[in-house]
Amino acid sequence: MDESQATAKARRVWDRTAPGYDRQIAFLERHWFTGGREWLGARAQGRILDVGVGTGRNLSHYPAGAMLTGIDLSPEMLAHARRRAAALTLVADLREGDAESLPFGDGTFDTVVCALSLCAIPDPRAAIAEAWRVLVPGGRFLLLDHIGSTWPPVRTAQWLIERVTVPTVGEHFTRRQRPLVEAAGFEIVEAARLKAGSIERLHARKPPTR
């Protein structure tokens, strides 16, 4: 499957998932990703781009007065996000877009957030490179994702789950994002691995221009 086919497949998968996504993810957020969205929101500032905004579950956690932009491949997910933004009386530019080819100019944002999305983006290196491009020097890159566990029994279970999830919905459980973030040139400001090392939170910075 080439990259364009993988992207089209991902769009179809998330369009189908959209109606039940909030119900499905709520349990995991209580017991596995606990506090992750709050952690992201507390560190986001200025002009914020939410990559893979989904149904907008991050929106209520961003600081008051922030300039919010969100992109997602899925029109159905975006429809839910727009309804959530309206219910929160938030002004947010929510549009269809591809994390691997962001429709924004260089240095447009102060913060790029990616929550539970790099695990399913076909080319995470391209998405990270795009986050670098659209950030101002000194900008923040905030990540929350599930990754390969540090505990062998859990990692083995994740590997087995991937035998189904990767070909069917493109979701990876054993990817590790930090090496890709560092290879792109970001400096790590904060990092934490939780839940047997299967959840990673990263606060990275694009170095200031010298």
Look at residue 135 in the predicted model and tell me its pLDDT. Answer: 98
Look at residue 1 in the predicted model and tell me its pLDDT. Answer: 55
Which pTM value belongs to this model? 0.94
Look at residue 12 in the predicted model and tell me its pLDDT. Answer: 86
- Counting as low any pLDDT under 50, the low residues of the chain are none
Look at residue 3 in the predicted model and tell me its pLDDT. Answer: 58
Beta strands (DSSP E) in 46-148 are 47-51, 67-72, 92-96, 109-115, 135-146
Name the residue type at position 54. G
Q: Which CATH class is domain 3-205?
A: alpha beta
Distance CA 133, CA 171 (A): 25
Please give the span between the terminal C-alpha atoms of the chain, in angstroms, as a whole number.
Answer: 42
Q: How many residues are there in the chain?
A: 210
Look at residue 17 in the predicted model and tell me its pLDDT. Answer: 87
Distance CA 143, CA 140 (A): 10
